[in-house]
A and B are shown apart, each in its own frame.
Chain A
Amino acid sequence: MIGALVAATPAERRLLGGGRFKGPTPYVIAIMTFVMVVIATAGLALANAAGLAATGTEQRYSVQIVGGADRQPQAEVALRSMEGISAVRPVDPKAMRAMLERWLGPDGASDDLPLPALIDVDLAAGALPDNIRQQVERSIPGAQFVAHREALAPLTAALRSLGLLAVCLVALIALATAAAVILATRGELVAHRGTIEVMHGVGATDEQVARLFQRRLALDSLAGGTAGAVLAGLVLLLVAGAIQGWAEGFGGAVVLGPTDIAILALLPILVAVLATFVARYAVLRSLGERL
């Protein structure tokens, strides 16, 4: 269908004259697409990161015994004996003190500072957290059973919100692109007013006139969109290392998958399609106001 919208005979191609890419449209579209791709990439990365964080912590819990650092070995044994727990990883008190020292200064590393016993556990597939919680509270008096996902909930919610914000921004940029195309089309209509009058005078339909302009805008948009997307891809590759490192914090998975790459690659095409239909609408609407 898009092919039919931009198809033209050699005679039709000559009608508007002038070289291609001479107006501002391809450059405006390139900038819009560049911004759109960068924001869309950030949005997809954030959505994926939120997903990774949620998935990575779904079965992960902590058993915490306040002021019970000396009870950690017994608790560890009890946890290993429980059904439904697939992994037990006691947190090294030295590591905890080192972390506290970063926050509290040298006093954080002091032996006088009471530390909780902290043991990370992974639940086996199909294990019911409430059952495990009851077993833990029964076997280890005073222990708290905390889901990691609850601790990370504010972070994942923030990531998802930012992802949604990115979607909204992409939609806004698409709207701005449509507005730019309408302005460009109006400019083209004014610039080619004489040609349009002659075409109408010899019996051209609005459809024939619109096809010339939608074709030009479609090709300009496709070229500008592709250039913008390629440039955005290069820029994003430069920062990919940092993004990858950030993702590794959530389990080493890549931030963007093949589907995400495909979505980003489709953006310039979608921009060209949008420009084609907007230009067609603008031309037909403008011509409809004439005799």
Chain B
Amino acid sequence: MSTIVEFDRVGLRYGTGAEILRDLDFRLQRGAFYFLTGPSGAGKTSLLKLLYLAQRPTRGRIRLFDQELADQPRDVLPGFRRRIGVVYQDFRLISHLSAFDNVALPLHISGASEEETEGPVREMLAWVGLSDRSSARPPTLSGGEQQRVAIARAVIARPELLVADEPTGNVDSEMAKRIMFLLGALNRLGTTIIVATHDLSLIAATPGAHLMRIDKGTLVDPTGALRHPPISEALP
């Protein structure tokens, strides 16, 4: 397997505050499924922000898609972001757009016409079970429906890397299983997936996934032995 993401002694601080991520040193393999777990405030969301390029590291080196990010000027970052799908913890759907338009957004941004987006978006909404809610606006959707719209938006452009921050945090257990099934299906199609969660049952239900644990801004296994073990070995 080739490496899709490489962090080398990465640190992050906001402003002049203390470092909230320290010496992150890991690789993500292309096509693999990762869970990122840890207590609240451990730095999961900040690490994901580095992955989906919402933040630049304050030190260290990040390689993404075989390219050094530190060397990239700002105007090429959109090209990287188009290869990454993001499911935000708070969904971040655009409230005045329909579910259809929210899902179609990445395709429109990439330059697809209305006609070109029609088929793929309908297909994606069917995939997440929302065909009959395509014209509904986010405020009228349930939490689970919004979560599925967010997932559909994240995967519509067939990203190489999918980053999901607590994608099941706002839904019931049945919906959580369904969402994880969708992510698993996407992973089988070749997308590298990293999911931040503290739900161990979710992790246990995804055999073959790898586990990364973070605490107080550092990955808790500096030797690397536990950093990416198959879930079956990491859990009792």
Q: What residues make up the interface of A, taking CB atoms closer than 8 Å to B?
A: 9-12, 14-15, 17-18, 194-195, 197-206, 208, 288, 291
Instruction: Check B78 against A9 for contact (C-beta < 8 Å).
Output: no
Q: A11-B101, A198-B93 are in contact. List 5 more A-B contacts (CB 8 A).
A: A11-B104, A194-B92, A201-B81, A203-B79, A208-B109
Instruction: Check A14 against B106 for contact (C-beta < 8 Å).
Output: no
Instruction: Check A203 against B74 for contact (C-beta < 8 Å).
Output: no
Tally of chain B residues near chain A (CB < 8 A)? 32
Within 8 A of A (CB), among B163-180: none
Given contacts A17-B96, A197-B92, A291-B56, contact A203 B110 (CB under 8 A): yes
- One of B12-20, B47-55, B213-221 contacting the partner: B47-55
Within 8 A of A (CB), among B37-89: 52-56, 74-75, 77-82, 86, 88
Instruction: Check A15 against B94 for contact (C-beta < 8 Å).
Output: yes
Binary A-proximity of B113-137 (CB < 8 A = 1, otherwise 0): 1100100000000000000000000
Partner of B113, one of A9, A197, A203: A9
Closest A residue to B96 by CB, please name it: A17
Contacts of B94 in A (CB 8 A): 15, 17, 194-195, 198
Alpha-carbon separation in the docked complex, A291 to B74 (Å): 7
Binary A-proximity of B143-174 (CB < 8 A = 1, otherwise 0): 00000000001000100000000000000000
Given contacts A10-B114, A11-B114, contact A205 B106 (CB under 8 A): no
Q: What residues make up the interface of B, taking CB atoms closer than 8 Å to A?
A: 52-56, 74-75, 77-82, 86, 88, 92-94, 96-97, 101, 104-106, 108-110, 113-114, 117, 153, 157
CB distance from B155 to the nearest CB of A (A): 11
Alpha-carbon separation in the docked complex, A181 to B52 (Å): 33
Contacts of A195 in B (CB 8 A): 94
CB distance from A33 to the nearest CB of B (A): 30
Given contacts A194-B94, A291-B56, contact A199 B105 (CB under 8 A): yes
Instruction: Check B52 against A14 for contact (C-beta < 8 Å).
Output: no
CB distance from A18 to the nearest CB of B (A): 7
Alpha-carbon separation in the docked complex, A10 to B113 (Å): 9
Instruction: Check B96 against A203 for contact (C-beta < 8 Å).
Output: no
